[in-house]
Amino acid sequence: MAQFVLQCLYIPIWALIAIGLTMLAIWLDVNSSANVGPPEIAFGFVRTGISWRRLRAEWGGRPEDWAPFTEPLLAERFAKAEKDSGWFASQLPPSGVRRATARLARCHCRGLGATGVATLAQRYGWSVDWDAHTSPDEVPLFRLMPPPAHQGVPDPYGPPPAPGAPWGPLPHRVVLPLLTLVLLPRVRTLELRRNPDAYLAHLHTYLAGKFAQEVAKSPGTHYRADEQGRILRRVVVRPWHFRGVGAHGVLRVAAEQGWRLDHTYPAEPGRALHLCRLEGPVPGAPMRR
């Protein structure tokens, strides 16, 4: 209660000081050779304020008082983590099951404790990571996310889709290739020529180099092995390498070299394509759970 009342006094003063320090830093930067900025703590007041909802939870102190405050925070963080976390190739096992993670500070669940947070998290399919729960200042949480379902993925050796169809050539562009021709001369020239055979020749050369570079990586530091010691090597192919032939052309050339579409990631033929190849068992690859 005291902090809630006092913040009406110290936050405006803190904000004025932060603004003053920022203006001073700008003045010094303009009128001298000094390259300075306001200290990081200058705008820390943004994180110190207590909302009315949190005050009610702090005031009551019981788990039933904290649950209405904590659960929306969990729902927001879970949604963000399920979308963004755990995508690094070194964290993904060959099965494609992704481990999404999130953390909740103690100040957001003081009256619940880790056990109460675990109860709320279960409603969203999440769990407390008890093995990583070593600090009283925060509660680590995780959820195992299954690979997304792939639908409508064509046979790599089947007939190529028509322009404009899913997995077919992407829409023709003129202005952007001309503006960026100096930056990406090879792929922009391909886009302007709009020749599928030239794109396929480019993909054969480009993917061969890409795959060779990936195979040269050490399995002990770049991959997560499964129980049998197998790893899944992964590469990403950007759309500008296949615009004129479509994502189906990438699948075809990749299949010829022993690679396939990565089941871990969503199948989005108009965006970057993820390819993979299973190898193993590989000595030295860490078996992480």
**Does some domain include residue 38?**
no
**Does some domain include residue 25?**
no
* Residues 207 and 249 placed together within one structural domain of the fold: yes
Query: Looking at the 3D structure of the chain, how many domains does it have?
Result: 2
> How many Å is the maximal CA-CA distance in the chain?
73
**End residue of a domain, out of 146, 164, 198:** 146
pLDDT at residue number 26: 64
**End residue of a domain, out of 146, 162, 186:** 146
* Residues 142 and 179 placed together within one structural domain of the fold: no
**Does some domain include residue 35?**
no
Is there a contact between 71 and 120 (Cβ–Cβ < 8 Å)?
A: yes
**Does some domain include residue 17?**
no
pLDDT at residue number 165: 93
pLDDT at residue number 46: 43
Q: How many angstroms separate the CA atoms of 262 and 247, rounded?
A: 13
pLDDT at residue number 13: 56
* Residues 217 and 262 placed together within one structural domain of the fold: yes
* Residues 196 and 262 placed together within one structural domain of the fold: yes
* Residues 102 and 190 placed together within one structural domain of the fold: no
* Residues 216 and 268 placed together within one structural domain of the fold: yes
Q: How many angstroms separate the CA atoms of 112 and 69, rounded?
A: 11
- State how far the alpha carbon of 60 is from the alpha carbons of 47, 55, 73, 150, in Å: 22, 9, 18, 48
**Does some domain include residue 255?**
yes
pLDDT at residue number 20: 66
pLDDT at residue number 90: 81
* Residues 136 and 195 placed together within one structural domain of the fold: no
User: Along the 289 residues of the chain, how does pLDDT read in single tens digits?
Assistant: 444 444 455 446 545 665 666 666 665 666 665 555 555 554 444 445 555 556 556 656 677 878 888 899 999 999 999 999 999 888 889 999 999 999 998 878 888 889 999 999 999 999 999 999 988 889 999 999 999 999 999 999 999 999 989 999 999 889 988 999 888 899 999 999 889 999 999 999 999 999 999 999 887 777 888 888 899 999 999 999 999 999 999 999 999 999 999 999 999 999 999 999 998 776 655 555 4
Structural domain boundaries, residue 81: 73-146
**Does some domain include residue 61?**
no
Q: How many angstroms separate the CA atoms of 3 and 257, rounded?
A: 64
* Residues 209 and 269 placed together within one structural domain of the fold: yes
pLDDT at residue number 219: 78
pLDDT at residue number 218: 82
* Residues 188 and 140 placed together within one structural domain of the fold: no
Query: What is the signed CA dihedral for 14, 19, 20, 21, rounded to 10 degrees?
Result: 90
Is there a contact between 100 and 143 (Cβ–Cβ < 8 Å)?
A: yes
Strand 231-237 vs strand 273-279: parallel, antiparallel, or unpaired? antiparallel
* Residues 179 and 141 placed together within one structural domain of the fold: no
pLDDT at residue number 3: 47
pLDDT at residue number 45: 42
**Does some domain include residue 129?**
yes
Cα 94 versus chain centre, distance: 18
**Does some domain include residue 222?**
yes
* Residues 138 and 182 placed together within one structural domain of the fold: no
- State how far the alpha carbon of 11 is from the alpha carbons of 21, 47, 52, in Å: 15, 10, 15
* Residues 127 and 182 placed together within one structural domain of the fold: no
pLDDT at residue number 39: 55
